[in-house]
């Protein structure tokens, strides 16, 4: 890509990031929709949101090293936008590559249960600095003992066997899993956007007519 830049004056990388340097939420996108997503991200940043977009410039082979290097260290949530449709498939190609990337849970880990949730979701590493600073290094042995006890009780022989067992790719119906998480996210937004959502839900036709009455074709 450096050679391409010298010849054309256009600079691309395997992945390009745009957004807040301390973003907590990132959407990974490939194709022509990337510019639209970036415009939306810019708008949200102006409103104080910590969001960002990773634009995939070259796909397959998917470079995990370059992808992780491009992500800000503050990222907590990653979503993918892939135009490929594969009926009956576990997921779109971009989504599968992103979810297969090694990741670490870097905050909110205080107990063995927190570690278990992260590992079963697919995390390779959990960071527990805050709880160790608060409770001392001895806290680590208590957590390890609790982990071992839980794994023996549930007949897990290793972390590798347990890792990712509750991720979307591991469930019997990945599509249902995705819909359930979408509904959960939608429900959590009710508190913030409740009146508007409830109004649309209760009077959909009236709202559609109101919009169409004041709209015109361009």
Dump strand ranges (E) for the chain: 15-19, 25-30, 51-56, 77-81, 104-105, 125-126
Q: Which pLDDT score, from 0 to 100, does residue 123 have?
A: 76
Q: Which pLDDT score, from 0 to 100, does residue 159 have?
A: 78
Q: Decide if domain 2-172 falls under CATH 3.40.50.
A: yes
Whether the Cβ atoms of residue 57 and residue 17 lie closer than 8 Å to each other = no
pLDDT in tens, 132-150: 889 998 898 999 999 999 9
Range with lowest mean pLDDT among 62-71, 81-90, 104-113, 150-159: 81-90
pLDDT in tens, 43-64: 999 999 999 999 998 877 888 7
Q: Please compute the mean of the pLDDT values over residues 108-127 and round it to a whole number.
A: 82
Task: Break the chain into its structural domains and give their ranges.
Answer: 2-172, 173-218
Range with lowest mean pLDDT among 14-23, 57-66, 206-215: 206-215
DSSP string, 65-87: HHHHHHS-TT--EEEEE-----T
pTM exceeds 0.85 for this model = no
Give the distance, in angstroms, between the CA of residue 202 and the centroid of all CA atoms in the same chain: 31
HSE value, Cβ hemisphere, 13 Å, CA-based, for 18: 17
Assign 209 a pLDDT band (cuts: 50, 70, 90): very low
């Amino acid at each position: 890509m450096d050679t391409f830049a010298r010849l054309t004056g256009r600079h691309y990388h395997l992945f390009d990031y745009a957004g807040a340097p301390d973003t907590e939420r990132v959407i990974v996108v490939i194709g022509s929709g990337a510019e639209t997503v970036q415009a939306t991200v810019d708008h949200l940043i102006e409103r104080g949101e910590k969001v960002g977009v990773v634009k995939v410039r070259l796909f397959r082979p998917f470079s995990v090293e370059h992808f992780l290097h491009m992500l800000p260290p503050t990222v907590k949530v990653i979503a993918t936008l892939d135009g490929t449709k594969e009926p009956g498939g576990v997921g779109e190609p971009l989504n599968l590559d992103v979810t297969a990337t090694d990741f670490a849970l870097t905050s909110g880990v205080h107990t063995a249960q927190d570690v278990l949730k992260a590992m079963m979701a697919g995390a390779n590493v959990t960071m527990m600095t805050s709880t160790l600073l608060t409770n001392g290094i001895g806290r680590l042995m208590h957590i390890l003992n609790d982990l071992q006890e839980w794994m023996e009780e549930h007949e897990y022989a290793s972390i590798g066997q347990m890792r990712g067992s509750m991720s979307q790719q591991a469930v019997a119906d990945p599509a249902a899993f995705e819909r359930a998480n979408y509904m959960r996210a939608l429900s959590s937004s009710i508190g913030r956007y409740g009146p508007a959502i409830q109004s649309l839900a209760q009077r959909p036709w009236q709202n559609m007519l109101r919009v169409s009455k004041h709209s015109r074709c361009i």
